[in-house]
Amino acid sequence: MVGPYRGLFGMPGVKGFVIAGFVGRIPMSMLGIGIILLVSKLTGSYATAGAVSAVESVAFAVAAPLSGRLVDRFGQAKVLVPLVFLHGVALVALILCAHAKLPLWTLYATAAVVGGAATSLGSMVRARWSYVLDNPAKLHTAFSFESVADEAIFVAGPAFVTVLATAVSVYAGLIVAAVLAVGGTLAFAALRSTEPPPVRHREHSGSPIAIPGIALLALVFLAVGSVFGSVDLVTVAFAEQHGSKGMAGLMLAAVASGSMISGLWYGSRHWKITLRGRLVRGLGVFAVGLTPLVLMGNIPTMTVALFFAGLAISPTLITGFSLVERLVPASQLTEGMAWLSTSLGLGVAIGAWAGGRLTDLYGASNAYGFPLICALLAVTVGISGSALLRTPEAAGPDAA
């Protein structure tokens, strides 16, 4: 299973942008929980902490396609450097405003800048892979590797920032996040040999979201993101209701572990099924895997069920980004991928809100019905619009 991945890193410059991109995007899984831990501690209000964190998430989701468009036009380095400095300064300002107990609007304002200046570095790493690789099979493996890297980040990041905030200082988590974001992004931007060239004059006007296939994928990923956001919140509540809130981290790690394992397996195979066929099948497995969650009544069985529920995540995300690479003109690739990141982010915010409301009203076990409904919605949209995902490369049996 590891064999196909070995050949990815022999090309000049690849190891550098992979490592720098990994470090630079670790903070994406630290910011939300880090803001909640800091603001709730200093203000004594979880409601305020959640609202500030939500502002940051929504600002990122709204701004990501715009920064992606700027990157496609002017190049990664010219956009990343000023944005990451603004991001770092805004994050420090948020910490200082919270520490000084300034009016709440200052927290919301600085959080909006933190999210708005955050870049979709994962999209830019994938754009570099698309630039340096001209073999669809190798690109499929590279995207699989990046999906596994994202899962590792989302497993380790929240635990890392929680330890820093609770064992070192309530400020430490966000300070480290700022250092990693600025340092990793600057290192990534400095690696110019693998940077895709900017496209000053685009043959295609408008935004990639106007492409029917991209709009369809955005809707699918919105539903998938709602699954992620609701499962995270409901699982914490489920563990607490069963008297062991500390097990929530292990339970969520089970989801990510299932996704990591399936991502490695999926990326090591050469598929004869077309990309759109794989997406529809992956969404179907995704929905089936979530069904047992509404039936589990204790933490051990729920942990096992969450592991199996995670098996379809990476293949679905990998296929989605691969379809973007086929559907979007090269001059708009970063923006096209950023739209999927935006849809996931908005979905996570919707899922967290809905999951919290339903948990309060009906209990955690019943609230697991919401992510199942979202998964079924993703399957329905994917199947009904699959014709929009036809690509020239996907027509043959050996596609990707």
Phi, psi angles (nearest 5°) of residue 159:
-65, -40
Q: Record the pTM.
A: 0.76
pLDDT number for residue 304: 93
pLDDT number for residue 202: 57
pLDDT number for residue 48: 79
Q: Is 399 left (phi over 0), alpha (psi -120 to 50) or beta?
A: beta
pLDDT number for residue 209: 85
pLDDT number for residue 394: 41
Closest of 220, 246, 248 to residue 306, by C-alpha: 248
User: What sign does the CA torsion over 320, 218, 34, 15 have?
Assistant: positive
> Are the CB atoms for 229 and 349 separated by under 8 Å?
yes
Phi, psi angles (nearest 5°) of residue 171:
-90, -20
pLDDT number for residue 114: 95
Gap between the Cα atoms of 340 and 346, Å rounded: 10
pLDDT number for residue 100: 92
**Ranges under pLDDT 50 in the chain:** 394-400
- What's the one-letter identity of residue 280? V
Phi, psi angles (nearest 5°) of residue 99:
-65, -40
pLDDT number for residue 1: 53
> Are the CB atoms for 204 and 23 separated by under 8 Å?
no
> Are the CB atoms for 120 and 222 separated by under 8 Å?
no
Domains of the chain: 1-201 (1.20.1250.20), 209-400 (1.20.1250.20)
